[in-house]
Amino acid sequence: MTPLATDITNNDNQLEGTLMASDTQADTTPMVKVDDLVKHFKRSDGATVTAVDGVSIEVMPGEFTVLLGPSGCGKTTLLRCVAGLERPIGGRIQIRGRTVFDGDKKVNLAPEHRGLNMIFQSYALWPHMTAAQNVAYPLSAQKVDKKDIPARVARALEMVGIPELGKQYPSQMSGGQQQRVALARALVSNSDLVLFDEPLSNVDAKVREQLRFELLSMQRDLGFAALYVTHDQTEAMELANTIAVLERGKVAQLGTPQEIYREPRSRYVGGFIGTLNEIEGTVQSVDKGGAATVTTAVGTLTAASIAPEVKAGDRVVVVSRPERVELATKEPTLPNRWKVTVETSVFSGSRTEHVTSFDGNPDFRVWRSDMELFHTGTPAWVGLASQDLRVLPFGA
């Protein structure tokens, strides 16, 4: 938000001696290193559920990593394992190069000794303490000199934009204000690692957008590493340097937001992050440049981008993003084109959404930025450049 944020980091000493080590070798030692982590839960009927199934990820200092997936994919469990709130059954976790969990060596550091901070989905503000007392708590727990606490609390509250609310109790605040107190409490001790468990899911859409923006600028200013859990793909793409898409306890894909959006590894990833058009087909050939020719119900398609495991003869799906598709009444010149019937056309403000159909493909979506609407039943052409088509394995 404001430049005040920076002088907090400059003025104050680091949390623990171990932090200094990570500063000197900042580029090589990951802030968090999770290695082959496994966590089981016993359901009430006695069945075992594998919530985290051999996950390995790294978060570098200053990096913003988002764990993305639907509910039940294990993302929150993974985060809680890093925090020390759940006990994994196997694997290793290192924070700043120090082992905090090791399943083989029976090491499991308590959360209070891991030197990190966390923001909970429910904010977990203590209702019997004022905002200022809530924010002061980590400082007194970490034995910071009593004289320094009020000033640091005031600065933290100012940084999150609520300097005047220090004396209020959480129950007297709005959801957005509570969220800011939680943020101040997480940032006041200047930890270089902050965990977020769906922190924005309890505030309304307008506040959420504002808080997301502020959170991002604070993270860039203060430079802490963030591990952030969400099921909201827009949130993930706006915040992340790196996204890990989780699927049933495993990392389905790890990459930058652009990579994950443009080059999903599977239909699951592509479908979870945005809308995906899918056309089934069989691979005829794969050329040396990595382009594939695929036989489909709409004709033979050439796709410039293919998933690594796809070979000639495979059953595949050819996927595309709706906003990359051309739609016209005249035949386009693009290499991939076929005739369709427009089923519906809806203007939704920032774009116009068309649903088109072709034999066997009743639900092919096209988003255009112009405002032209088509009558239902209008015959039209869709067209796609080869680089806007990607070939994915059929399974999953």
By the criterion CB under 8 A, which residues form the site for other proteins?
A: 83-85, 87, 105-113, 115-118, 120-128, 137-138, 141-142, 169-172, 185, 189
- The least CB distance from residue 108 to other proteins, in Å, is 5
The whole-angstrom separation of Cα 208 and Cα 103 is: 38
- The least CB distance from residue 13 to other proteins, in Å, is 15
Q: Measured from the CB atom, is 127 or 289 closer to other proteins?
A: 127
- The least CB distance from residue 115 to other proteins, in Å, is 8
Helix (H) or strand (E) holding 307: none
CB-based contact 22:216 (threshold 8 Å): no
Q: Measured from the CB atom, is 52 or 252 closer to other proteins?
A: 52
With a CB cutoff of 8 Å and minimum separation 6, the contacts of 202 are 121, 122, 123, 175, 179
- The least CB distance from residue 351 to other proteins, in Å, is 36
Amino acid at 364: F
The whole-angstrom separation of Cα 124 and Cα 297 is: 54
Q: Measured from the CB atom, is 60 or 85 closer to other proteins?
A: 85
CA-nearest of 239, 254, 127 to 178 is: 127
Sheet with 305-306, side-by-side order of all strands = 299-303, 292-296, 277-286, 315-320, 390-393, 305-306
Q: Measured from the CB atom, is 120 or 381 closer to other proteins?
A: 120
Q: Measured from the CB atom, is 107 or 396 closer to other proteins?
A: 107
Q: Measured from the CB atom, is 196 or 272 closer to other proteins?
A: 196
Tell the residue number behind the tokens 């290193």, with chain if given: 33
Euclidean distance between the first and final Cα of the chain, in Å?
43
- The least CB distance from residue 88 to other proteins, in Å, is 11
Q: Measured from the CB atom, is 142 or 241 closer to other proteins?
A: 142
Q: Measured from the CB atom, is 30 or 115 closer to other proteins?
A: 115
The whole-angstrom separation of Cα 228 and Cα 160 is: 18
In the 8-state DSSP scheme, what is residue 103? T
- The least CB distance from residue 171 to other proteins, in Å, is 5
With a CB cutoff of 8 Å and minimum separation 6, the contacts of 76 are 197, 198, 229
The whole-angstrom separation of Cα 203 and Cα 374 is: 38
- The least CB distance from residue 216 to other proteins, in Å, is 22
- The least CB distance from residue 35 to other proteins, in Å, is 17
The whole-angstrom separation of Cα 191 and Cα 208 is: 24
